[in-house]
């Protein structure tokens, strides 16, 4: 009798423990994870800019994001000509100018690397620079700066053009064809909603249902809810699987969103 | 060469508008004769033009290859609307002309990003 009671108790305990675990992983955990990931991704976007934008950007709150004309600058990329190089043995201070302004970039030297960056980054060449924008003593600087010489100078043109596009998008303007003729603000958005493809609808449905169905969202349910043929859903899901957006649940009939 | 000066991207149609200013032009290098050369540019209105370049002897080695594209930084002279070259960078022979034309056009429309 005593043995039975102990066993029963242990079983109960074990069961209870796994249950809580499942609950956390299945619903709240997954959901929060994906949303915080999305935010982090947005914050970490590499924004193409001109040096003038960097120099004129301001922080709304101390240590916060830099803002210039609605564009958030966290990680930035720009292109410019090296105008001055100062060798501090462990790092190079490069003065880079792109016709809109100039900025000093500190490039740390890697001892283990065989190349000598000083000779690869002479004065007068175009370079592509990326880094995290920071301010120190009232002066803008880049953390973790990478500097790479430009071989194909089309990059100079394309970079400036993409900086313009990024800027215009942030102002709520779309750059279609000859662009400047007042394009209504929200046209692209509504277009996108109406013409949502079946694949996108299926993915959204799976994504929404994933937290509550840890065994996989059944194909039949997807087909019923979205009013689609089961075969079509299978086809689309196979495609989504290939793209790495969904994966099989416990068996081939159910899918989970990544 | 003052690198802190901001300069404006132009083509042959904008020389008059930015007279006396320091500008950046992308074009094909034409004939070179001693301290003079010509730069062939195209504009968004479809026209082609030629800009006269005045090159000081120290910069002559920088502008060597006719028919290559160059980005020239220089000051537009007041009288003949030529460009006194401050620097020239060889852009190679395969530059997307449409992109170059678009950049001049849009950089002047979005001047808040450029000057």
Please say if the pLDDT value at position A255 is more than 90. Answer: no
Please say if the pLDDT value at position A88 is more than 70. Answer: yes
Task: Please indicate whether residue B69 or residue A177 has the higher confidence score (pLDDT).
Answer: B69
Q: What is the CATH number of domain A28-149?
A: 2.40.50.140
Both tokens of B20, joined, read 């006396």
| Average pLDDT estimate for B67-71 | 95
B 56-85 near A (Cβ less than 8 A): 69, 71, 73
Percentage of chain A beyond pLDDT 90 is 29
**Cβ-Cβ contacts under 8 Å for B31 (sequence gap 6 or more):** B37, B38, B66
* Amino acid A51: pLDDT: 94
Contact between residue A240 and residue A255 where contact means Cβ atoms under 8 Å apart: yes
Please say if the pLDDT value at position A37 is more than 50. Answer: no
Tens-place pLDDT, residues A145-179:
999 999 999 999 999 999 999 999 888 865 454 44
ipTM given for this complex: 0.92
* Amino acid A195: pLDDT: 59
Task: Please indicate whether residue A1 or residue A233 has the higher confidence score (pLDDT).
Answer: A233
Please state the length of chain A.
258
Please say if the pLDDT value at position A10 is more than 90. Answer: no
Tens-place pLDDT, residues A197-248:
788 888 888 888 888 888 888 888 888 888 888 888 888 888 888 888 888 8
| Average pLDDT estimate for A95-112 | 89
CB of B4 less than 8 A from some CB of A: yes
A164: nearest CB among B8, B92, B113: B113
Task: Give the per-residue SS3 of chain A.
Answer: CHHHHHHHHHHHHHHHHHHHHHHHHHHHHHHHHHHHHHHHHHHCCEEECCHHHHHHCEECCCCCCEEECCEEECEEEEEEEEEEEEECCCEEEEEEECCCCEEEEEEECCCCCCCCHHHHCCCCCEEEEEEEEEEECCEEEEEEEEEEECCCCHHHHHHHHHHHHHHHHHCCCCCCCCCCCCCCCCHHHHHHHHCCCHHHHHHHHHHHHHHHCCCCEEHHHHHHHHCCCHHHHHHHHHHHHHCCCEEECCCCCEEEEC
* Amino acid A189: pLDDT: 39
Q: How far is A13 from A172, CA to CA, in rounded Å?
A: 57
Which chain B residues contact residue A158 at CB under 8 A?
Answer: 99
- The pTM assigned to this predicted structure is 0.65
B5 pLDDT band (50/70/90 cuts)? low
Q: What is the CATH number of domain A183-257?
A: 1.10.10.10
Please say if the pLDDT value at position A27 is more than 50. Answer: no
Which chain A residues contact residue B112 at CB under 8 A?
Answer: 69, 167
Which chain A residues contact residue B21 at CB under 8 A?
Answer: none
Question: Are the Cβ atoms of B3 and A160 closer than 8 angstroms?
Answer: no
Report all structural domains of chain B as residue ranges with CATH numbers, in order of start: 3-100 (2.40.50.140)
Question: Are the Cβ atoms of B106 and A50 closer than 8 angstroms?
Answer: no
Q: Where exactly are the structural domains of chain A? A: 28-149, 183-257
Q: What is the rounded average pLDDT for all residues in chain A?
A: 77
Q: How far is A146 from A17, CA to CA, in rounded Å?
A: 48
Q: How far is A188 from A106, CA to CA, in rounded Å?
A: 41
């Amino acid at each position: 009798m005593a043995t039975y009671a102990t066993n029963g108790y242990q079983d109960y305990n074990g069961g209870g423990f796994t249950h809580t675990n499942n609950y956390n992983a299945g619903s709240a955990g997954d959901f929060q994870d994906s949303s915080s990931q999305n935010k982090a991704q947005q914050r970490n976007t590499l924004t193409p800019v001109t040096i003038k934008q960097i120099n004129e950007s301001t922080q709304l709150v101390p240590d916060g994001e830099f803002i210039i004309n609605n564009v958030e600058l966290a990680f930035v990329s720009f292109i410019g000509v090296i105008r001055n190089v100062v060798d501090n043995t462990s790092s190079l201070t490069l003065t880079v100018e792109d016709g809109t302004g100039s900025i000093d970039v500190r490039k740390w030297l890697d001892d283990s690397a065989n190349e000598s960056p000083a000779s690869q980054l002479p004065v007068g060449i175009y370079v592509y620079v990326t880094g995290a924008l920071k301010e120190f003593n009232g002066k803008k600087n880049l953390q973790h700066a990478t500097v790479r010489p430009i071989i194909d100078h089309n990059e100079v043109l394309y970079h400036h053009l993409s900086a313009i596009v990024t800027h215009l998008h942030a102002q709520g303007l779309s750059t279609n064809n000859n662009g400047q003729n007042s394009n209504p603000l929200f046209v692209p958005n509504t277009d996108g909603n109406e013409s949502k493809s079946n694949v996108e609808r299926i993915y959204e449905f799976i994504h929404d249902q994933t937290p509550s169905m840890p065994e996989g969202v059944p194909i039949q349910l997807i087909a019923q809810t979205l009013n689609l043929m089961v075969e079509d859903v299978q086809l689309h899901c196979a495609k989504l699987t290939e793209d790495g957006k969904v994966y099989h649940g416990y068996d081939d009939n159910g899918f989970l969103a990544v | 060469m003052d690198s802190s000066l901001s300069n404006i991207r132009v083509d042959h149609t904008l020389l008059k508008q930015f007279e006396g200013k320091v500008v950046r032009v992308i074009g094909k290098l034409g004939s070179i004769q001693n301290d003079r050369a010509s730069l062939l540019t195209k504009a968004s209105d479809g026209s082609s033009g030629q800009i006269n370049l005045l090159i000081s002897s120290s910069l002559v080695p920088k502008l060597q290859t006719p028919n290559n594209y160059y980005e020239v930084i220089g000051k537009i002279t007041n009288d003949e609307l030529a460009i006194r070259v401050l620097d020239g960078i060889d852009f190679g022979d395969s530059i997307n002309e449409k992109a170059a034309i678009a950049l001049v056009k849009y950089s002047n429309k979005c001047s808040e990003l450029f000057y």
